[in-house]
Chains A and B, each alone.
Chain A
Amino acid sequence: MKITLGTVTEPGGSLVNKTGSWRTAKKPRFLHQSCTDCGMCDLHCPEGCISGDGENTYVNDEDYCKGCGICAWICPAKDIEMIPEGGEDD
């Protein structure tokens, strides 16, 4: 990796920084039971790291997810829950 004068980067540089390592306490689990494909989780995710296409398909990208919990809080169907980081699922 080259560090340029003034740390100049071309578009896409943020993808290299796997900021998901900042996540500490909790992370979302997408239950895929009552999702209506409303897209609110995707729309509100501050990291833009949630994707899906159709009911019960949404997932987060843990390389960038900070575990803020907004997706779980906003989900009208209560189909996302926050689980402890490093729990049984890991």
Chain B
Amino acid sequence: MTKKMMQGCRAIAEMATLCRPQVVSAYPITPQTVIVEELAQIVADGRLKAEFVNVEGEHSAASLVLGASATGVRVFTATSSQGLLLMAEVVFNIAGMRLPVVMVNANRSVSAPLNIWNDQQDSMTVRDSGWLQLYAENNQEATDLLLQAYRIAEDHRVMLPVMVCVDGFILPHAYEVVDMPSQEEVDAFLPPHKPIYKLDPGKPLTMGAYAEPDKYMETRYMIQHTLEAAIPIIEEVAQEFKRSFGRSSGGLFEEYRVDDASTVVVVLGSVAGTVKDLVDELRDQGQKIGVLRLIAYRPFPKEALCRALGKAEDVVVLEKALCLGSSGPLALDLRSAFHGRPASPKISGFTIGLGGRDITGDDIKSAVDRAQLRLTDIDFVGLREDLELEGINA
């Protein structure tokens, strides 16, 4: 392994290269573009023996990796925001056809209004598609999760696609030290993909073509069953990663000072760093507070989360996505997981950092204070008070 200072996009492209995909197709979209540019250069330079296919849009990019994956080869794609939404139809098809496609999504807000900055509304919008979704905190974890994603997706007990979610700009455009494994180390961890079924002109078959009402429901049951069964497999792969590379990465979630905490902040992705700093500050002032950073959002590890959070009084969910007209997706999932259990913390939900708005320690502190004061279904943190909002106060 070699430690290198590099941009997140570069690190992700380097790791994608080490995973030896045979077909890469993606359409450039900020803030994912540089990942694809780097990969195009790597393929052009002959460092990766792969077909790099230029396409006219994300629907085609997703369709192309779907088709390539169906022929039994390992594939890679990456997108963001509108690109992921344009892919949405194919995203569901990839999962339904049980193809182990791996995608990096650089999390970005969704239009309108046009906004290219980070939140997690894009990947949350396809959370019910049957893909596994893993959220990274930093670039080291982004690359580690990418490697683990192939292992999980191609595991014959899983055979489902995996989306590695990285907070747009915050990770892909940041320079960080990343410990990159060697090709030999990656090859030892990730053996060649062995498809169960593949398209072959000599032995024709059809994938995902047609299921009448007497069969369709079973196909959904199979995916739901497999996603639940994938929870221990995600943990197993993380443990094997630790044995192979000597450091922890991945798994279901990370707990930071949660053990005796009466208040636990729950987040996804890069904001965890800011929350950990605040937790340290508040701990110094005597507050029993911790943070649980969820890595595996799909499948949602209900049992493990209820065990980890069951002793807390207040759970404060901060999320960069909103089910408009309802509540925050992560808060909804957590409340649902605790529903009907004898002991449940008060679960408050807050919308924070949409469209790239900075999330400060004070913002997080204000959410924690409000949650401790009273149970909050959904509230915005960090709204400006100096603006007139037509239809609300103007």
Contacts and interface: CB of A to CB of B under 8 A. Distances in A.
Interface string A1-33: 001111111110110010000000000000000
Name the prevailing secondary structure of the B interface residues: loop
A34 to B, nearest CB: 38
Contact of A17 (B96, B210, B218, B219): B210
B209 A13 contact: yes
A8 B207 CA distance: 4
Interface residues of A, number: 12
A18 to B, nearest CB: 10
B197 A3 contact: no
A5 B159 contact: yes
Nearest to A13: B206
Interface string B210-230: 111001001100100000000
Interface in B190-249: 196-197, 204-212, 215, 218-219, 222
Contacts of B209: 7, 9, 13
Contacts of A8: 197, 205-208
A65 B219 CA distance: 27
A3 B99 contact: no
A6 B222 CA distance: 9
B211 to A, nearest CB: 6
A17 B159 contact: no
Contact of A7 (B159, B196, B219): B219
A15 B98 CA distance: 24
Q: How large is the interface on B (under 10, 10 to 19, 20 to 34, 35 or more residues)?
A: 20 to 34
A3 B222 contact: yes
A6 B205 contact: no
A8 B39 CA distance: 32
Given A8-B205, A8-B206, A3 B218 contact: yes
A6 B98 contact: yes
Of A3, A5, A10, A14, which is in contact with the most chain B CB atoms at under 10 Å from its CB? Answer: A5
A9 B206 contact: yes
B208 A6 contact: yes
Given A13-B209, A17-B210, A17-B212, A5 B222 contact: yes
B91 to A, nearest CB: 15
A7 B211 contact: yes
Contact of A5 (B196, B206, B210, B211): B196
B98 A5 contact: yes
Contacts of B205: 8-11
Of B205, B206, B210, which is in contact with the most chain A CB atoms at under 10 Å from its CB? Answer: B206
B186 interface: no
A52 to B, nearest CB: 28
Contacts of B197: 4-6, 8
A13 B208 CA distance: 12
Contacts of A6: 96-99, 159, 197, 207-208
Contacts of A17: 210, 212
Contacts of B211: 3, 7
A63 to B, nearest CB: 14
Contacts of B212: 17
A6 B95 CA distance: 8
A3 B219 contact: yes
Contacts of A10: 204-206
B47 to A, nearest CB: 32
B99 A7 contact: no
A73 B294 CA distance: 63
Contacts of B218: 3
B128 to A, nearest CB: 18
A3 B197 CA distance: 13
Interface in B245-297: none
Interface of A: 3-11, 13-14, 17
Interface of B: 96-99, 159, 196-197, 204-212, 215, 218-219, 222
Given A11-B205, A13-B209, 7 more contacts: A6-B97, A6-B197, A8-B206, A9-B206, A10-B206, A13-B210, A17-B210
22 contacts: A3-B215, A3-B219, A4-B197, A5-B159, A5-B196, A6-B96, A6-B159, A6-B207, A6-B208, A7-B96, A7-B208, A7-B209, A7-B211, A7-B219, A8-B206, A8-B207, A10-B204, A10-B206, A11-B204, A14-B210, A17-B210, A17-B212
